A = this chain, B = another copy of it.
Amino acid sequence: MAKDVGFTTMGDVLGDGAAPEIGIGMIGYAFMGKAHSNGYKTIPSMMYPPPAIPVLKSMAGRNEEAVAAAAKRFGWERHTTDWRDLIADDDIQVLDNGGPNNMHLEPTLAALAAGKHVICEKPLGRNPGESKQMWDAAEAAGLKHMAAFNYRFVPAIIQARKLVKDGVIGEVFHFRARYAQEWIIDPNFPLIWRLDKDVSGSGVLGDLGSHTLDLARFIVGEISAVNGRMKTFIKERPTAEDPSKTGPVTVDDAYMALLEFENGAIGSVEATRFGNGRKNGNRFEINGSLGSISYNMEQFNELEVYIADTEPAEANGFRKVLVTEAFHPYWENWWPHGHIIGWEHTFVHELHHFLDCIVNDKDVAPMGATFEDGYKCDTILAAIAESDANGGARVEISY
């Protein structure tokens, strides 16, 4: 019958009534601000009993009007336009850093110095150096740290990893992944911060590629070498401030890479913002000596699994697994089987995990990504960029 999936379940956490409050401070009020706020607010009743009750203390953002509106809407007690206020705030035990990539390093270091646990959006740094600084600081401070790779918290993906780790598909030969979006195909789409290397560090490589490479490490194992290529299809765009002027796109629109894993598997990965018709098209397939696993995030709750040695052989094939049974990861918290959950639930799981690790002094890894994982991911991203600069020549990974 169903086996335990080896993941933290609610029965492990503190019993009802004993859940302490934890004060949260958040940088960012837009996309991730909304997603994380919703995640925190959902934990107490749906991930029950909660390990802690997150209290939304303060939200920081540069635009006073916007951050005030967001704070009010999502129920934050206060807001500020200066993230340093969060650091100085003794009511805050956790910094949730959801700012743009150039805002990851400084606030994170400051929060750690002030004794606060930190969860930081991905990619952790704009380069491995920044990530290393954050990882070192967090370890030195003895605080909990998490890189917010929320796709580690998709039930179907946790299940995929479990099948690989349990040997169900045997020795892994191939990992391949493609992450396609389409939102900047229009040449008139403006030069937002994500297209500016100074702010973002890289383009789709860091944004979507970091997800893919983190999942590769999460599911398959360490990457030992890469060959990478990057491409900017549209090199000049209207500036966000004045559409009558244009400026250079300084990041990649697409990247592709070939991977060697330490365990002998090979991989091919890519991401693009020019995948016409693909909205959030995040797919991967893994082939092993005993079976295969395939996933497409557009069918969020499904996993395709092939197990070669299945009876009767005449009726074997890829199984379309609805990862919605009570014994699937996190599903005991949700609904009867077949009753679909979605993208936002990854944040509920992720933030619950982080609070659980803080309150109960558990290890964030291996189920969650730590700053170490964030650093390693950034190291691979940098290797891909270095490879591209040399025409795709092989670059070995050394952390």
Residues on A lying within 8 angstroms of B by beta carbon are 1-3, 5, 16, 31, 35, 37-38, 41-42, 44-46, 48-49, 69, 72-75, 159, 162-163, 168-169, 173-174, 176, 178, 180-181, 183, 185, 227, 229, 231, 233, 254, 256, 258, 264, 266, 268, 270, 272, 274-281, 287-292, 297-303, 305-308, 310, 312-325, 327-328, 334-345, 390-394
Could you list some 7 contacts between A and B, CB below 8 A?
A174-B272, A180-B287, A227-B227, A227-B392, A314-B328, A319-B320, A342-B342
Alpha-carbon gap, A391 to B345, bound state (A): 41
Q: Which among B16, B38, B325, B342 is the interface contact of A314 at CB below 8 angstroms? A: B325
6 closest A-B pairs by beta carbon, nearest first, are A279-B338, A280-B338, A277-B306, A391-B394, A227-B392, A340-B342
Contact of A314 with B322 in the complex, beta carbons under 8 Å: no
Name the B residues within 8 Å of A3 (CB-CB).
312-314
**8 additional contacts, CB 8 Å, given A229-B258, A319-B320, A340-B340?**
A38-B46, A159-B315, A163-B315, A180-B287, A258-B392, A272-B287, A299-B299, A339-B343
Contact of B266 with A229 in the complex, beta carbons under 8 Å: yes
Copies of this chain per assembly: 4
Alpha-carbon gap, A385 to B335, bound state (A): 30
Q: Which among B276, B297, B315, B336 is the interface contact of A321 at CB below 8 angstroms? A: B315
Alpha-carbon gap, A337 to B266, bound state (A): 26
Name the CB-closest residue of B to A306: B277
Name the B residues within 8 Å of A287 (CB-CB).
180, 272, 274-278
Alpha-carbon gap, A314 to B266, bound state (A): 26
Assess A317 versus B254: contact at CB under 8 Å? Given A48-B73, A176-B270, A185-B289: no
